[in-house]
Amino acid sequence: MIWEELLTFEDIKKEPYYIEHILWDHDPTKVMEPLVVKEGSTIVCKKPVKGYVFYIETSGKKPELFLMMHKGNAFSETIAKIDNIPQEMLNEAVEENRKLIKYGICPINEKIKMWLKKELGLL
């Protein structure tokens, strides 16, 4: 682990680099998929993801929102926990995306995306 402790949402808000490199439409469950796959008789190398992705962790007592850092070398790490989002929004997103959850990782929904963008001053 690079980070000794997780950043807060306030930390993220203060650093423009994080905000500028958020991948709003990236599915966080894709982090579990291999970068090299065989499709028929062809070997396909997927482009590594580089940037920051919000996701909902569902394996705990209640859903929680986190920010994951993806590096171009296929390395990823959770760097921040967002505590001040309403729990009802997380519950709603988990229910909406229940079929998309993989390994306890759930994508955010449009409502959470808009809440985050508003909180980050992007709207």
- Return d(Cα 71, Cα 69) in angstroms, integer: 7
Location of structure tokens 């423009």: 16
Question: Tens place of pLDDT for every residue, the chain, 123 residues?
Answer: 455 789 999 999 999 999 999 999 988 877 767 778 888 899 988 777 889 999 999 998 999 999 999 886 667 889 999 999 999 999 999 999 999 999 899 999 999 999 999 999 998
Q: Which two tokens stand for residue 76?
A: 């990823």
Identify the three-state secondary structure at position 90. helix
Q: Is the pTM of this model over 0.85?
A: yes
